[in-house]
Amino acid sequence: MRLPSLVLAAVLLFGTVLAPAAGAAEADCPFQHKPAKAIDASEDLKPGNPAPTPLPVPNPPVGGAQMGTCGIAKPAGASNPPKDVTVSSWLVADMDTGAVLAAHNPHARLRPASLIKTLLALVVVRELDMGKKVVGTQQDADQEGTRVGLGPGGKYTVGLLLKVLLMRSGNDAAHALAMQLGGVDQAVAKMNATAKELGALDTRAATPSGLDAPGMCTSAYDLALIFRAAMKDPRIAEAVATKHVQFPGYADKPGFQVNNDNKLLGVYPGFLGGKTGFTDDARHTYLGGASRGGHRVEVVLMHGEQHPVRMADQGAHLFDYGFGLLGKPPVGQLVEEQVTPAQPNQPGGAQGSGVRATTSPGSASSSSMASVVLPVLIAVVLVAVVGLLLWRRRKPSLVSPSLVTTSPATAVPPPDESEQTRPIG
């Protein structure tokens, strides 16, 4: 075999192994870059403000090659998902291992509605003291959409506002908490920084509450990442599982009871809590977690309708489907947020939880690719080395042996082991 041919074959084989086509998102996936155009004026730009640039689409897809599909990803031989799950995008995952059990168009970029409050909650527990006193304002009370009942002069704790934020989806509570984080713009910036740390690269918060605004987007995959991270904090886990709580009044208005609006709480066996959402553009959204037989499963549903089957019931059917897939090969992986201990002289968050960093966006799929590429690359190099030695041995000399004189001091030594195993190129 000639050396040039051998090298060319090795390069072609190596290039084929590393080709990203199998991991790329399908070109015709709906909402791959951004959500559909708004149907109302909620995302109209203010004069002089440019339209937000769509977020880059990672390639390979975060979480593995099958996460790039716009169809259904499920284990080979597994039953089909419930037919009455009619949302545009959904995902079912093992909350403990992060294994994605099944999904449909998981990286579709859609509007989250109030599901984004789970991201706000994550920032709140990491940065604010739960016992801090907050005084309500008229601006809190004037927020659009769902409100719990904050009022000017009302006195609340951050911990109580966190509960009603998640239990009743209060936009007034979201605004009050955002102001404690430095204001709406600062809160949104912190939410987006946290999303990036988690590896949620489809996510861009534009409001703390989930009300539609220019550039707002996320995905079922990202919300599964966010909810999984949030549920690791016992304060959030307690909040979403709370059925009702007493809420103080203000001025001459008496206090009242706030009830959790999640229809599966206390109804679906093992339900751990979750979040509901709705806007005209996002349509209905839903996420939640449930436990059965020592395993926890989470579901995310986006851009759905309450008819013919309620969103909560669609979620329940996905829970059943997900629990039935445990033990089968996963179709993807929720990337992990890495936590390193804080340095003694380094200021930490409110809880001193350390400095957070995330593995690279494609780490889950890249690591699996590396496990395939490395053995093949080693084999290619070994073949190339053997071919090189044979080629040198068989190549006829171009110089007469009688004209070549060497001595032990000037003889060229054979290549050492490191040179023989050096990768080509």
Strands 256-259 and 244-247 turn out to be antiparallel
Residue 164 CA to residue 245 CA, distance in Å, equals 8
Q: How far apart, in whole angstroms, are the C-alpha atoms of residue 213 and residue 195?
A: 18
Pull the structure tokens for residue 383.
């073949």
Q: Which of 114, 209, 219, 363 is catalytic?
A: 114
d(CA 146, CA 237): 22
Residue 169 known to be catalytic: yes
d(CA 183, CA 166): 20
Q: What are the tokens at 365?
A: 């799929």
Active site residue 37: no
Q: Is 46 annotated as a binding residue?
A: no
b/e code 183-207 from CB counts within 10 Å (16+ = b): ebeebbebbbebbebbbbbbbbbbb
Q: Which residue has the tokens 């600062």?
A: 186
Helices 117-127 and 220-230: crossing angle, nearest 10°?
30
Q: Single out the catalytic residue among 89, 169, 219, 363.
A: 169
- 83 among known catalytic residues: no
| 239, amino acid identity | A
CA dist 122 and 109 (Å) reads: 21
d(CA 189, CA 186): 5
The DSSP 8-state label assigned to residue 90 in this structure reads E
Catalytic residue among 74, 117, 163, 263: 117
Burial call 374-405: b when 16+ CB within 10 Å, e when fewer: eeebeebbeebbebbeeeeeeeeeeeeeeeee
Half-sphere exposure of 75 (CA within 13 A, CB side): 17
Which of 356, 331, 69 is closest to 233 using CA atoms?
356
* Helix 184-198 × helix 220-230 angle, to 10°: 100
Annotated binding site: 275
Catalytic center residues = 114, 117, 169
Annotated binding site for substrate: 275
